[in-house]
Structure formats: structure tokens, C-alpha cells
Amino acid sequence: ADAYKGQYAHYTLKEISEQPSTILSAGNNTKLEIDLASDLIKHARNVYITGSGTSYNAALIAKFLFSKYAKIKIDPLISSEAQFSPDMFEEKSILIAISQSGESADVLEAVDIAKKSGSKIISIVNMMTSSLVHQSSISMGLNCGPEIGVAATKSFTSQLVVLYKMVDKICNGCIELDLVKVSEAIKKILSNDSKIKDVAKKLKDVSDIYVLGRGIHYPIASEGSLKLKELTYIHAEGLPGGELKHGPLALMDSDSYVLIINPNDSTYNDTLTSAREIKARGAKIIGISDKPSDVYDYWIDIPSINESLYPLVEIVPIQLLAYYAAIDKDFDPDYPRNLAKSVTVK
């Protein structure tokens, strides 16, 4: 197994580093299925989408992509919550189930409930021999190779790519889905990670981190905070910037660290305003952006890209930050305490 890690100290770092190529191969093993699934969704009356953990965060991104570009409403549902709302699946709906392993008990249960209401299951899966594939009418493959690290990294960006491909198919290519550009952007971040390592050192004794993003960047903030929790055991919380004034601002003081996801797009100015409000309370601001600002105590530079594609790029520095912070704290990033790669019991 060690040989498989190759030059890398941990699977997690290897898997983060594979993303320039896994972005390009995502879904390539199931191109026809992507077309078929997109067609079904285009003509469906009700579409739901479900997953657990990281896969649920991908479902939240899907909601944005489908409504903005394909003009289709899809309803995200946390898989473990499905049992409490069995009536939400209307007859003949479609449920998109997202799972790296295809074995999460919670996801399989949500699928079971949806099937009882006569719904069709479309899945996005990495393990193509899994139970979820057997339960689905159509399965689309992530095609990213085995993911060993418990914290999902490359499978997340591959899930997003499959979702982008579906949306792009439905809107007849309205997303300029230039995956080579995304791949190049991720390469740049990976090869220029010294700043990320420096910032990781600052997090050593920090007890709370907030990750802030607006619009489509809010689910990325949630996913980033999940990586920080899993790998560093630091309490981390994703926040939509506009909600600060409705509560979280009360928590901000000179001990707070706030990661600001702020690409140069339509969310930029509002997010910067939030950053200034937090900074005024003495908090340390880590900006993830393609545009520098005096408000950032630390600036993690990301390449500029089409507005629709930032989510695929901006999660990578947060994955790296969580990884390096775990190393600095002497935690095993591949096998975080109390967690399992695939939770097959309820």
C-alpha cells in the first residue's frame, strides 16, 4: 500500500495533488450515461439531490448550477434526514444520489425511500461495483481512481465536474466548461503552496475558524470547514457573509481566524465588506482570492477563471491548508480520529 503513495507522505496529499488530472478524467468512463441522465432531468417534474458529508456539499453546489444555468430547480436533501420526510418525494420524481463509495447507509436509505414513491434513481459514484450503482437506473462515474484518505478531496471536485457536465449539456454549452484551464489553475495552486504552509502554521493553536463565502461560494465554505474539522479537529463553520450581522458577529474577536472565499466575481464587493466588518473586531483575515486587498492579513492567491468555474479551484487551497495544519499538529491526515471512509451502518 505504501508504494501506491509514491512520492507523497500521505494519501490525502497525493489525492489533493491528483486533481489536475482527475478534473480532466471525471465522467469520461460514463459519457453516454451523463447524456441520458441530463435528458431525464430536463424533462422531469421534480428533481431531488442527496448525499452525506462532502457529497452533500456537492449537492448544494448542484442546486446553484442547475438553477442558474439550466433553469431547473432541484431540491437538496441530507441523506440521513430522508427518513423523517418520506413524503417529500412526489410520485415519479428523480433522485440524484451522490456518493464516492456508493455504500453509505444513509444514502442507500434515502434511495430506498425515494424508490418506494416510484422515483427514478440517478447516481454519481466513484465505486462502480457498489450497492448504489445496483440501485440506480443510471450511474455516472467519477473515474478518479481509489480515494483512500478519509477526508474526501479529489472525489469532491470530480463530483462537481460531473454535475457541471450535466448542466452544460442541458443548457447547450452555456457554461464555458474549460476544464483544461481549471486543471492549469489547480496546478498553479499546488506548485505555489508555500504561502498556504505559512498560514497553516498560524492555525496551530487556534480553536475556531470561520469560512465565509456568498452565493455559490457558501457551499464551498461549508466543504472547506468540513475539511478543517476532519483533518485539524479545529471547530470550523461555514458562513454566508450576509448572516454575520444576524449572530456570528458576536463571536468575532482578536482570537478569531476567518477564511474569506473571495474570487473576483459578482460576490466580490459584498464579501469584502463582510471581511472589513470582521477585521474591525480584531479578527485575522485569510483571503482566498485572485485580487489582493489590504483587509487580508494573509492572502492566498488563486488564478482568475470564468465566474462559473471558481468553485472547482477555490476548494483546493482550503484542502491544502487543512492538510498542512494537520501535519503541523501531528495528526494523521489520512485516518482522522473517530471517522471512517465509508459509513455502512446507520
Q: How far apart are CA 14 and CA 7, in angstroms?
A: 8
Q: Give, as ranges, the residues between 147 and 186 that touch ligand G6P (CB under 6 A).
A: 150-152
Among 38, 50, 104, 135, binds ligand G6P (CB under 6 A): 104
> To 10 degrees, the CA torsion angle through 252, 322, 59, 138?
-170
**Closest separation between CB of residue 113 and ligand G6P, Å?**
16
Is 225 among the residues that bind ligand G6P (CB under 6 A)?
no
Among 30, 99, 131, 157, binds ligand G6P (CB under 6 A): 99
**Closest separation between CB of residue 292 and ligand G6P, Å?**
33
Instruction: Find residue 236's DSSP bridge partners.
Output: 209
- Site stretch for ligand G6P (CB under 6 A), options 48-56, 208-216, 281-289, 319-327: 48-56
Q: Is 85 helix (H, G, I), strand (E, B) or coil?
A: coil
Is 139 among the residues that bind ligand G6P (CB under 6 A)?
no
What is the DSSP track for 263-298? -SSTTHHHHHHHHHHHHTTT-EEEEEESS--TT-SE
Is 107 among the residues that bind ligand G6P (CB under 6 A)?
yes
Given the complex with ligand G6P, which of 165 and 229 has the nearer CB atom? 229
Is 17 among the residues that bind ligand G6P (CB under 6 A)?
no
Is 209 among the residues that bind ligand G6P (CB under 6 A)?
no
- Site stretch for ligand G6P (CB under 6 A), options 61-69, 214-222, 242-250, 336-344: 336-344
**Closest separation between CB of residue 342 and ligand G6P, Å?**
5
Is 222 among the residues that bind ligand G6P (CB under 6 A)?
no
Amino acid at 232: T
- Site stretch for ligand G6P (CB under 6 A), options 51-59, 236-244, 251-259, 269-277: 51-59
Say if residues 69 and 175 touch (Cβ distance below 8 Å): yes
Q: If DSSP states are collapsed to H, E and C, what string results for 43-68?
A: CCCCEEEEECCHHHHHHHHHHHHHHH
Q: How far apart are CA 228 and CA 236, in angstroms?
A: 6
**Closest separation between CB of residue 55 and ligand G6P, Å?**
4
Given the complex with ligand G6P, which of 107 and 283 has the nearer CB atom? 107
CA Rg value for the chain: 19
User: Residue 174, Cα to own-chain centre: how many angstroms?
Assistant: 22
Residue 142 burial (10 A CB sphere; 0-12, 13-18, 19+): buried
Given the complex with ligand G6P, which of 40 and 78 has the nearer CB atom? 78
Is 52 among the residues that bind ligand G6P (CB under 6 A)?
yes
Q: Which residues contact 191 (CB under 8 A, 6 or more apart)?
A: none
Is 233 among the residues that bind ligand G6P (CB under 6 A)?
no
Is 319 among the residues that bind ligand G6P (CB under 6 A)?
no
Given the complex with ligand G6P, which of 54 and 139 has the nearer CB atom? 54
Tell the residue number behind the cell numbers 456508493, with chain if given.
102
Q: How far apart are CA 176 and CA 183, in angstroms?
A: 14
**Closest separation between CB of residue 150 and ligand G6P, Å?**
5
Is 136 among the residues that bind ligand G6P (CB under 6 A)?
no
- CB atoms < 10 A from the CB of 118, how many? 11
Residue ranges binding ligand G6P (CB under 6 A): 52-55, 99-101, 104, 107, 150-152, 339, 341-343
